Chain A
Amino acid sequence: MAQKITPKKTPIAEQDPIVRGKNFDEVCLGYSLEEARLEAARCLQCKTAPCIGGCPVAINIPGFIKALADGDLPKAWEVLSDATALPAVCGRVCPQETQCEGVCTVGKIKGKEPVAIGKLERFVADWKAAQPEEPVTPPAQDKGKVAVIGSGPAGLTVAGDLAKMGYKVTVFEALHEPGGVLMYGIPEFRLPKEIVRREIGNIRKLGVDVEVNSVVGRTLSMEEIRSSFDAVFIGTGAGTPHFMRLPGTNLNGVFSASEYLTRINLMHAYQFPDYDTPTRKSKKVVVFGGGNVAMDAARSALRLGADEVTIVYRRSVEELPARIEEYHHAVEEGIVFNFLTNPVEYIGDEKGYLKAVRCIRMKLGEPDASGRRRPIPIEGSEFVIEADTAVEAIGQGSNKVLLNAFPELKLNRWGYIDADEKTGETNLPGVYAGGDIVTGAATVILAMGVGRDAARSIDAYIQGKKQA
C-alpha cells in the first residue's frame, strides 16, 4: 500500500516571494478541495495513529482526514471541533514538523514526507468559515461562573470548553482587542486577523463574555474577581520583553520585538497614516534572535519597505528554533542570515539615533543545560553592521502586572506561575493557570492543550465544591 503514496506532500499555492515581500497578505493560499482530498488520500489511517499522540490537544487526525478524503466536510469539521477551538489558527502556526507530522507514519518511510496534517486542518476550518452561518443556541449556563484572565489561546480554550460544559464565562483582556499573541504578535501574512476574530466570534457565540480594556490587578482586583466567580483561570502570557542590556539600548531605532510587532499588528502601523500609530521607516534593519518572533519581525520589516534585513543569530542554522517553514519563507523573501554572530554594542549618531551595531563572531562549544551547543565569542572577531533599526527578539518574561498585585500566588524560580502541568492547579484553591505564564514562551497549541485540561479540572473543582 505504501508504494502508492506520493513521496512529497501535495504542493500548495503560495504568493510569489517577490510580490509578497511588499504586502501583508497571507503567504500561503491554501488547498483547493481536489488538492486537499488528494493529500488526505496519502494518510494510511494507521490503527495506532501516532499522529494523535503528537498533537497536544489529541485531535482525531485519521478521523478528520478520512472524512475529508470521503468528501464529507461537515463530518471532518465535527471531528476537528470536538478537540480544538482554533483549528484555522493551529493549522497555520503549529510547529507541525515537531508535533503531529513529526511522528506521522508516512514521514517515517524513507524518502517520503509526512501527511500535510496542518494544511488539511486549516483547509477544513476555512471551508467551514465559508459556509452560511448556522444559528447557535448557546448551551445553558447554570453550572457556575468562571473568570478567565487573558484572551490568548490558553484563555480562549478554557472559556470555550467551559461554556460548552454549561458555565457562564467572562474573559478579561487588558488590550482593546482579544486574541493575545495571535492578535498583537503573529503578523497578518502568517495569520490573518480576520481568522482570529472569526474564531473568537465562535467562542462568543457560545455565550462567553469578553471584556476588553480590563487589566486585572489594576482595573479589577483579584479579590473582586475571586469573590464574584466560582473559579479563575489565569492565562496572561509571557508578554514582557527582555533586552540584552547592551550599551545604547535606548537609542532611537532600537526596539523589542514586542513593540515592533505590536505597532504593526495590533495598531496597524503598516497602514499608517490611515491608522494613527506609526512605526519607524527603516532602510537597514537587523533582527537579533532565531525563533518565530525574529522571523516575524524581519519579514515585517521587509514588507514595510526596508532595503536590507538581516537576522543575527548566535548559534547555527541547525539550532534555529523557528518553524522550518518560516525559515524557508524568510530565505525565499531575501532575508539575510548572519549565523554564529552576537551583538555587543549599539552605536548611535549625535542625535541619539541608531546607526550601526557592533557584533562578534561566535563558535559552538560544549552542549549546555538545554542540550544545545553553547555559543562562545571568538576573540578579536568584532565587526560592524550598519543599521538604522534593530529589533531584539531574544525572548519574553512573565507579565508582572497581575503577579505583583497578587502576591499570594506562588511563582517558580523563573518568575512564572507555579501550576500543575496536568491540571493547571496553583497553590490557591479555585485559581488555575496555564499557557506561557506557566511554561514561559511556548506555542499556541501547548497553551490550548493546558487550557483544555484546566477546563476539565475547573469543572471537577466546581462540581465537587457544590456536592460538599
Chain B
Amino acid sequence: MYKILSKRLIAPKEYDIWVEAPRVARNGKAGQFVVLRTSEKGERIPLTVADYDREGGRIRIIFQVVGKTTMAMSRLDVGDSLHDVLGPLGNPSEIENLGTVLMVGGGVGIAALYPILKELKKAGNKVITILGGRTSELVILKEECAACSDELLVTTDDGSEGIRGVVTDAMQILAERGEKIARAWIIGPTIMMKFAALKAKELGIPCWVSLNPIMVDGTGMCGCCRVTVNDEIRFACVDGPEFDGWGVNWNEFMNRMGQYKDEEKISLEKFQSEVGE
C-alpha cells in the first residue's frame, strides 16, 4: 500500500510524486489534503493532494524539503512505500461559476492552488493566475497552470522571469486595468498570503487562503491546528483548510507555526547525521 509510483525533482528541494492510494483517489476533491507518515516512528504531516487519478488509484503530491519528514520522503525511491496515508481530509474548495476568479500562488503553495484552479476553469470561470517566486526556477507548474488559465502572470523577486516584484504588484496591475474579479484564492508562504490577502481586501476582492498550521491527527480530534478567523477559533483540518483571507489573525498564526523550532532542528540534525548528509 501507499507505494511511490513516480518521482521527479521539479525545482531545488521540490519533488513531484505519484502515490498509490486508491480510496483517496476515488473520493478526493480539489482543496483536500492527506496526512502521512514515512515510518513507524514518524511524525504525521499534512500535504495537499495536487491531482487525482481516479481510474489509476493514484494521487499526486508535490512537496518541499524543509525538515526531517520531508527530507526522509525525498530519500524514498520509486517502489518504496509510505507507512501511512490518511485522507482525503479537510473541506473541498467551493467550486462554482463565479465569473472571473483570481488565483494567486507562491512557492510550493502553487501545488495546492493548481487542483482548485483546474476545477474552477472546468466550472466555466475566467481564470487569471499570478504565480510568484524568488527566482524563475522556483515558480513551479507554470505550464500546467497556464493550460487551465485564461491569463497567467509570473512575478519574480529578481526579475529573472515575468514582472520583477511580488504577487501584490501583479494584483495592482490587474486592478488598474479594471479587471472585475469575483473572488481570489491565495496559497503560498504565510507572509505572501498575509500581504496578498491585505491587498485583496484593499481592492475589495473576497478571498480564500489555505492555511497550513502544524497538525497532529487531521481529523478534528486534537485542536493543534486551531487558528483565529474573524475572532473565532477554528480547526484548520476540519473547518478549513480554506478560510476567509480578510479575517485571519496572521500574527498569531505565524507564532504558532514556530512552536517547535528547536525540536524540528534536533530532529533534522539527528536524521542528517544518521543518513550522512
Contact = CB atoms under 8 A, between A and B. Distances in A.
Interface stretch (B39-47, B53-61, B121-129): B39-47
A263 interface: yes
A256 B224 CA distance: 8
Interface stretch (A12-20, A21-29, A276-284, A378-386): A276-284
Contacts of B89: 215, 218
A278 B259 CA distance: 10
B180 interface: no
Interface in A243-278: 243, 245, 249-252, 255-256, 258-259, 262-263, 267-268, 272-278
Interface in B237-277: 238, 249, 251-252, 255-256, 258-260, 263-264, 266-267, 270
B68 A276 contact: yes
B23 A259 contact: no
Given A219-B86, A259-B216, A249 B233 contact: yes
Given A176-B84, A273-B266, A252 B259 contact: yes
Interface string B189-229: 00000000000000000000000000011011111101110
A391 to B, nearest CB: 11
A250 B233 contact: yes
Contact count band on A: 35 or more
B104 to A, nearest CB: 26
Contact of A277 (B43, B86, B87, B252): B43
Interface string A133-177: 000000000000000000000000000000000000000001110
A174 B216 contact: no
A442 interface: no
A263 B27 contact: no
A236 to B, nearest CB: 10
Contacts of B37: 176
Contacts of B263: 272-273, 278
Contacts of A240: 220-221
Contacts of A465: none
A213 B222 contact: no
A212 B228 contact: no
Contact of A276 (B43, B87, B222): B43
Contacts, number: 119
Given A176-B86, A241-B222, A267-B43, A278 B216 contact: no
A256 B27 contact: no
A266 to B, nearest CB: 8
Contact of A268 (B41, B84, B85): B41
B105 interface: no
B24 interface: yes
Interface residues of B, number: 43
B23 A256 contact: no
B228 A275 contact: no
A239 interface: yes
A400 interface: yes
B88 interface: yes
Given A212-B84, A267-B44, A277-B43, A401 B266 contact: no
The majority secondary structure among interface residues of chain A is loop
A268 B223 CA distance: 18
Contacts of A400: 220, 238
Which of A241, A243, A245 neighbours the largest number of chain B CB atoms within 10 Å of its CB?
A: A241
B64 interface: no
Which of B84, B219, B227 neighbours the largest number of chain A CB atoms within 10 Å of its CB?
A: B219
A276 B252 CA distance: 25
A214 B23 contact: yes
Contact of A243 (B68, B84, B233): B233
A268 B40 CA distance: 11
Contacts of B27: 218-221
B216 A245 contact: no
16 contacts: A212-B84, A215-B86, A218-B88, A220-B27, A241-B221, A245-B233, A250-B227, A252-B256, A252-B259, A262-B217, A273-B263, A273-B270, A276-B41, A278-B263, A399-B219, A401-B238
Interface of B: 23-24, 27, 37, 41-44, 68-69, 83-89, 216-217, 219-224, 226-228, 233, 238, 249, 251-252, 255-256, 258-260, 263-264, 266-267, 270
